[in-house]
Structure 1
Amino acid sequence: MSTRVVRAVDVAVPGGSLRVGVWEAGPDAPTILAVHGVTSSHLAWEMLAEALPHVRIIAPDLRGRGRSNGVQGAAGMAAHADDLAAVCAALHAVPDLVVAHSMGAFVSVVFAHRHPDLVARLLLVDGGLPLAAPADLTPDELVAAILGPTAARLSRRFADVDDYLAFWRAHPAFADDWSPALEHYLAYDLEREPDGSYRPATSYATTVEDTVDMNTRDTVRNALDALTTPTTLVTVPRGLQDETPGLYPPVHLAAQLAAYPSVAHVAWPEFNHYTVVLSHAGADRLAALVEEQLAASVPHAP
């Protein structure tokens, strides 16, 4: 668990309120807005917060996830982007950098399109450019094809927190990267049912809606076509099950980078889709890149 204290803030959005985690720093500290992935929460950024003690980090639970899973109404990339703008307004924040993982990267590209005054730079982690999604699938089939057991987990029930942690201990993505911080993140994901069992907090219906939106509609592509924000993409070679290829097979990735040449790209071969954020090594590597990005966003006197 992080030694930094995270402050919980509730921010009103259409349909309810978002839970937002804020790791405070000094009065002159830079601010990053951190946006998590499809079945994640703000605690995905706890290890990054530990690695960046001098940086203020604002990280919401997106609607349908974590303690924001009671928000009513439509989801999709535009709704999440507008929620991020509401978070910035409520906290009087204009981020120096937006850091986003997985689905959060797609949300953040749309955020930059809809609210360009709030996005100085984008750092996208294994997401944000179109995926090689199979065509002609039903929504449930599309979710299964992209997320696999990650989506199936959402309908499972667990006897207790230890049962849930045991499920994740057997997960191939974390075979070499288990930690107390990871356990803290995972335990936060649970909600108790009336019968005493536990279920993941993420809404399956919202997961389907978001997955369909970011893979089959024009919202993300239109935002990418209009992208002028300085943007860096980090990719990793292994996916959600530690499999190869990951979300961006090499040929597909090359085509996407050619289609969006303004997006700078770095590849980190030592991580999978989870451990690039949810391991201390991944968070430390990401923290160093955040430092570089923050330095680049500050104009230097001649």
Structure 2
Amino acid sequence: MSRFESPSTPAPEQLGVPVEGGELSVLRWPATVPGAPTVVAVHGITANGLAWFEVARRLAGRATLLAPDLRGRGDSRDLGGPYGLARHADDVAALITALGLGPTVVVGHSMGAWVAALTAVRHPGLVRRVVLVDGAVTFPLPEGVSEDDALAAVLGPALARLSMTFPDRRAYREFWQRHPAFAADWSDDIDAFTQRDLVGGEPELRSSCVLAAVEADGAQVLLDREAATAVHRLPCPGELFWAERGLLDEPRGLYDEERLAAMGLDHTHPVPASAVPGTNHYSILWGRAGAGAVVRAVLGPAAAGPAAG
């Protein structure tokens, strides 16, 4: 079994795609159906391309899925800065161009949703549709709340782990198994995704995420005007799915109907926003309901069925 494979999800291929400053590492699950579309899937702020394992499984070869490790993460950790959401959007555009994909579907989770929307705005000829998963909508910081405090509150233990070392892989596994948003759903697939984040050697294993990249990108999620307005300026169709629960499985998630409406994403907005019941910020990506919603948004209503449902 390869280091990208779990017992229930086939292993992707790995590509190196030229971007400014070097190569972007990209995981590829190939289509098995002639004429199938291609989907580019962008992960969250401290994740890696293997986060899309469940979407890949449910696509079941009906589309080619390309999931890059963003600059400063995973096997792209040595691809240096400057970082920032626009830089990631330009990297996604470079990927689409280098592989000759033409206008394609771009899906993004969490920070990746801002990147997906921004890719469409900055490179409209390359994106024909975006699917945004629990991200892309920016709220103003409450009065008296600093950028650093807001970033720490939103990212929680995901940010803290970047400064931690772990004596072995088991310790890292136990760290994630204690995470309230992961514990109830733990699986071999989640284990493979989290283990792929580790670099270095025992007894000083650490996350592949470059702290400077996460800090720069997180600040832009909170404060960058170009990124904040991208969801309102999409030049192509889009759809937003949001989780009912939060990053730590708390009852209130990042979004709800009232808060989205306050930002203009109500029934009059061209990007429809739908809750995925029973999900938190992470399980919306790897659970049956959330991954099924993404697959249906990518492939259309005909995708509903045993492989995608």
Tell me the TM-score normalised to structure 1 length. Answer: 0.90
- For residue 59 of structure 1, the aligned residue among 67, 75, 79 is 67
- Cα distance per residue 1:185-221 (max 9 Å; x no partner): 010010114x632111111111110111121121113
User: 2:107 maps to which residue?
Assistant: 99
User: 2:169 maps to which residue?
Assistant: 161
Identity %: 41
Q: State the one-letter code of the partner of 1:30.
A: P
Q: Is the 8 A contact 2:136 2:228 kept in 1?
A: no
User: 2:137 maps to which residue?
Assistant: 129
User: 2:21 maps to which residue?
Assistant: 15
Report the 3-state secondary structure (helix = DSSP H, G, I; strand = E; otherwise coil) of the residue aligned with 1:112. helix
| Distance across 2 between alignment mates of 1:147 and 1:209 | 13
Report the RMSD for the aligned CA atoms in angstroms: 2.1
Report the 3-state secondary structure (helix = DSSP H, G, I; strand = E; otherwise coil) of the residue aligned with 1:276. helix
| Distance across 2 between alignment mates of 1:74 and 1:62 | 13
Q: State the one-letter code of the partner of 2:215.
A: V
| Distance across 2 between alignment mates of 1:294 and 1:190 | 38
Report the 3-state secondary structure (helix = DSSP H, G, I; strand = E; otherwise coil) of the residue aligned with 1:248. coil
- For residue 146 of structure 1, the aligned residue among 135, 139, 154 is 154
| Distance across 2 between alignment mates of 1:278 and 1:197 | 29
* Cα offset, 1:30, TM superposition: 1.0
Structure 2 portions without partners, runs of 5+: 1-5, 304-309
* Cα offset, 1:287, TM superposition: 2.3
- For residue 44 of structure 1, the aligned residue among 48, 51, 54 is 51
Deviates more, 1:124-133 or 1:231-240: 124-133
| Distance across 1 between alignment mates of 2:215 and 2:143 | 15
Q: Is the 8 A contact 1:132 1:252 kept in 2?
A: no
Shift in CA distance, 78/294, structure 1 to aligned 2, threshold 3 Å: farther
* Cα offset, 1:233, TM superposition: 0.5
| Distance across 2 between alignment mates of 1:280 and 1:225 | 29
* Cα offset, 1:259, TM superposition: 10
Is 1:174 paired with 2:182?
Answer: yes
Report the 3-state secondary structure (helix = DSSP H, G, I; strand = E; otherwise coil) of the residue aligned with 2:192. helix
Report the 3-state secondary structure (helix = DSSP H, G, I; strand = E; otherwise coil) of the residue aligned with 2:139. coil
- Cα distance per residue 1:41-76 (max 9 Å; x no partner): 110111111111221001100001111111112111
| Distance across 2 between alignment mates of 1:263 and 1:284 | 19
| Distance across 2 between alignment mates of 1:179 and 1:285 | 20
| Distance across 2 between alignment mates of 1:132 and 1:66 | 30
Shift in CA distance, 105/293, structure 1 to aligned 2, threshold 3 Å: farther
User: 1:213 maps to which residue?
Assistant: 220
- For residue 254 of structure 2, the aligned residue among 225, 247, 269 is 247
| Distance across 2 between alignment mates of 1:216 and 1:170 | 31
User: 1:300 maps to which residue?
Assistant: none
Q: Is the 8 A contact 2:29 2:66 kept in 1?
A: yes
* Cα offset, 1:158, TM superposition: 0.9
Q: 1:192-211, aligned counterparts within 5 Å?
A: 192-193=200-201, 196-211=203-218
Q: State the one-letter code of the partner of 2:248.
A: Q
| Distance across 2 between alignment mates of 1:68 and 1:294 | 35
Is 1:237 paired with 2:244?
Answer: yes
Q: Is the 8 A contact 1:98 1:122 kept in 2?
A: yes
| Distance across 2 between alignment mates of 1:36 and 1:208 | 16
* Cα offset, 1:281, TM superposition: 4.8
* Cα offset, 1:280, TM superposition: 4.6
* Cα offset, 1:144, TM superposition: 0.3
* Cα offset, 1:156, TM superposition: 1.0
| Distance across 2 between alignment mates of 1:180 and 1:241 | 20
* Cα offset, 1:249, TM superposition: 4.4
| Distance across 1 between alignment mates of 2:77 and 2:261 | 36
Deviates more, 1:225-234 or 1:251-260: 251-260
How many pairs are equivalent? 294
Structure 1 portions without partners, runs of 5+: 296-302
| Distance across 2 between alignment mates of 1:281 and 1:216 | 31
Deviates more, 1:212-221 or 1:197-206: 212-221
Q: State the one-letter code of the partner of 2:67.
A: A
| Distance across 2 between alignment mates of 1:248 and 1:289 | 19
Report the 3-state secondary structure (helix = DSSP H, G, I; strand = E; otherwise coil) of the residue aligned with 1:93. coil
